[in-house]
Amino acid sequence: MFPALTRPLEAASGSAVQSAEGESTCFYHAGYRAAVPCDACGRFLCSLCDLEIGSRHLCPECIHRSIQGPKATMTSERILWDRLALSLAVLPIFTFYFTVVTAPAAIFIALRHWRSPGSLVSHGRWRFVVAVLCATLQLAGWAGIIYAIARAGGTAVETAVDTED
């Protein structure tokens, strides 16, 4: 029923190989043959310890050091500026009074971080565009409200002046 069940196991091409006398061994596994040196520290690595990142071969310790520490060279987290701008533009709509502050902030973040690296899994900058459009509509709404209040206030002042005469 399952032919692979009865076949003998074959060694995978990337599996670690036992070292023979006089061969270089892995820094972390003394019994395994060294396959490559680490590009960062130069330690010999077996195929188990070899972590290929791009075109570089790195050991687990160098990966750990590059993610943490004062001189981190690898990105372990990323701020998603497009989602932040969209959240600043859309979420405060439910409490309209906050949009006077969040709409300009959303436009600033969208324009400032347009070229910043985005998420590794989602593509496009459509969230920036939607955030700027929503924020612009909110600011236009505020301008309309201020204009209506100013116009109504001006009419009330003119009416009060006319009644005094």
Residue-wise burial string across 61-76, b where 16 or more C-beta atoms lie within 10 A, e elsewhere = ebeebbeeeeeeeeee
Percent of the chain as helix, strand, coil, to the nearest 5: 50, 10, 40
In a domain, 90, yes or no: yes
Number of domains in the chain: 2
In a domain, 48, yes or no: yes
Write out the E strands in the chain: 36-37, 44-45, 51-53, 56-58
In a domain, 5, yes or no: no
Q: What is the mean pLDDT of residues 14-21?
A: 61
Say what the pLDDT of residue 70 is.
Answer: 64
**What's the chain's Rg over C-alpha atoms?**
31
Higher pLDDT, 165 or 125: 125
Last residue of a domain, one of 48, 76, 104: 76
Residue 28 to residue 26: CA distance in whole angstroms? 5
Say what the pLDDT of residue 161 is.
Answer: 54
Q: Identify whether residues 70 and 86 lie together within a single domain.
A: no
Q: Identify whether residues 65 and 85 lie together within a single domain.
A: no
pTM value is 0.55
Higher pLDDT, 14 or 131: 131
Token pair of 161 as six digits: 């002046």
In a domain, 4, yes or no: no
Domain carrying residue 71: 10-76
Q: What's the pLDDT tens digit per position in 92-107?
A: 988 888 999 999 999 9
For residue 129, the SS3 value is helix
In the structure, what pLDDT confidence band is assigned to residue 138 with cuts at 50, 70 and 90?
Answer: very high
Q: For residue 75, is pLDDT > 70?
A: no
Last residue of a domain, one of 76, 107, 126: 76
In a domain, 2, yes or no: no
Last residue of a domain, one of 76, 101, 132: 76
For helices 126-164 and 81-90, give the axis angle rounded to 10 degrees: 30
Q: Identify whether residues 92 and 48 lie together within a single domain.
A: no
Say what the pLDDT of residue 54 is.
Answer: 81
